[in-house]
């Protein structure tokens, strides 16, 4: 268990449970889960402190069959593609929307990791006046970057490449401070860029 | 199929598919699904017209078992309680967050329909500067109201009652215009109240 400064408690068991659950999905390489955990825990911390309200969208699942004799147990279903992004919410009256990506690649983030509809979604967020970005983890470097969605949109528009180079992210993005609580202090970067 | 004014097409088949899917969940009485459909279709219409970006959060499902021999079929899972609200997004740079409730009751909306954590969530949305409300359908009256979350919070705080009376909703809320497209023109009410 982690004791929060304001006395509330965040149960390690929940983190473990969530990790276990999500592992099912991310079995292939287990990429992304550590990053997702860190963001979720950071968001819970921010929420407890009353700083912002940012939540993870549940993974969309298409339910085919439910067994009511077993207390509404879903017995046949499959994962659907997320057509939006993983996270959204509100901070200082501004709409926040972002996607978390993680790679074991040292030199770039393959653009195949970013579905077209996510780019379209983030473009719309910008059009409507929201704050849109990516959180990108280079696992082998232990470096996590905040990169404005516009920078990704510009790159895709101007370059005919299959991946986003590490150097581009480093130059155009912002290294996120990693700590105990919050684990990833990305609000600090939003403050610097937008307020 | 519905032809949209801007030429894009919204497939009736998708609506039917979604309805079918969701029916599984809402088997008990099938309440709420028609309302949810109408809101989803209105949101798609608003999105196509570039007016706002408001999406439904997927229903959270706890996955227990996945069968990879069947192409990642989920074979054991169960529904989790939604701890936030059904819808959120952005309109004219403002953060939007709301919950849809539907009742066959003619004279009131039972407050047991609104979990405490949804009220807590909407309180936070207001604190952070967002626009928080309910869309409440009185099915037997064919009347759908827009009611600011603050009105519900006030009622719960001041009254020791188990349901929100129809008269209270009528007096403090705003009747939503029902039409072809959008089916429920709730943005019109947001315009009147907040812009």
Taking only the tens place, the pLDDT of each residue in B42-53 is 999 999 999 999
**E strands, chain A, in order:** 2-3, 9-10, 52-56, 61-67, 73-79, 87-91, 94-103, 108-110, 131-138, 143-148, 163-165, 174-175
Chain B CB contacts of A77 below 8 Å: 61, 73-74, 77
* Direct distance between the N- and C-terminal alpha carbons of chain B, in angstroms, rounded to an integer: 34
* CB contact B193 to A (< 8 Å): no
Nearest CA in chain A to B51: A128
pLDDT in tens, A118-168: 999 999 999 999 999 999 999 999 999 999 999 999 999 999 999 999 999
Closest chain A C-alpha to B180 CA, distance in angstroms: 25
What's the sign of the alpha-carbon dihedral A157, A162, A164, A168? negative
Structure tokens at B185: 């023109």
Q: What is the distance between the alpha carbons of residues B62 and B123, in angstroms, rounded to a whole number?
A: 26
DSSP state at residue A58: P
Out of B55, B78, B84, the one facing A84 most closely (by C-beta) is B55
Output the average pLDDT for chain B.
87
**Residue from B81, B117, B128 whose CB has the most chain A CBs within 10 Å, to mutate:** B128
Local structure of A57: helix, strand or coil: coil
Strands across the sheet containing A52-56: A52-56, A87-91, A94-103, A131-138, A143-148, A174-175
Q: What's the pLDDT score for residue A2? A: 41
Per-residue pLDDT band at A32 (split at 50, 70, 90): low
Nearest CA in chain B to A83: B55
**CB A85, CB A97: distance < 8 Å:** yes
Q: What is the distance between the alpha carbons of residues B181 and B130, in angstroms, rounded to a whole number?
A: 26
Out of B50, B77, B129, the one facing A90 most closely (by C-beta) is B129
Per-residue pLDDT band at B78 (split at 50, 70, 90): very high
pLDDT in tens, A40-55: 999 999 999 999 999 9
Per-residue pLDDT band at A63 (split at 50, 70, 90): very high
Q: What's the pLDDT score for residue B39? A: 97
B 44-103 near A (Cβ less than 8 A): 47, 50, 52-53, 55, 57-63, 65-66, 68, 71-79, 84, 88-95, 97
* CB contact B14 to A (< 8 Å): no
Q: What's the pLDDT score for residue B82? A: 78
Per-residue pLDDT band at B1 (split at 50, 70, 90): very low
Out of A60, A68, A125, the one facing B90 most closely (by C-beta) is A125
Q: What's the pLDDT score for residue A70? A: 84
Q: What is the distance between the alpha carbons of residues A93 and A82, in angstroms, rounded to a whole number?
A: 26
* Whether pTM exceeds 0.90: no
Its ipTM equals: 0.83
């Amino acid at each position: 268990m982690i004791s929060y400064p304001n006395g509330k408690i965040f149960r390690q068991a929940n983190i473990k449970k969530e990790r276990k659950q999500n592992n099912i999905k991310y079995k292939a390489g287990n990429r992304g889960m550590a990053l997702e955990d860190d963001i979720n825990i950071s968001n819970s911390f921010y929420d407890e402190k009353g700083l912002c309200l940012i939540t993870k969208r549940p993974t969309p699942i298409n339910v085919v069959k439910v067994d009511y004799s077993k207390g509404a147990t879903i017995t046949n279903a499959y994962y659907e593609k997320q057509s939006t992004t993983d996270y959204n919410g509100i901070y200082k009256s501004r709409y926040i929307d972002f996607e978390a990506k993680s790679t074991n690649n040292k030199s770039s983030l393959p653009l195949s990791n970013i579905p077209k509809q996510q780019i379209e979604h983030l473009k719309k967020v910008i059009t409507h006046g929201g704050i849109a970005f990516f959180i990108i983890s280079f696992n082998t470097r232990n470096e996590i970057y905040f990169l404005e969605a516009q920078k990704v949109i510009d790159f895709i528009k101007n370059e005919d490449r299959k991946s986003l180079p590490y150097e581009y992210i480093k130059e155009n993005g912002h290294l996120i401070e990693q700590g105990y609580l919050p684990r990833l202090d990305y609000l600090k970067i939003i403050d610097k860029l937008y307020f």
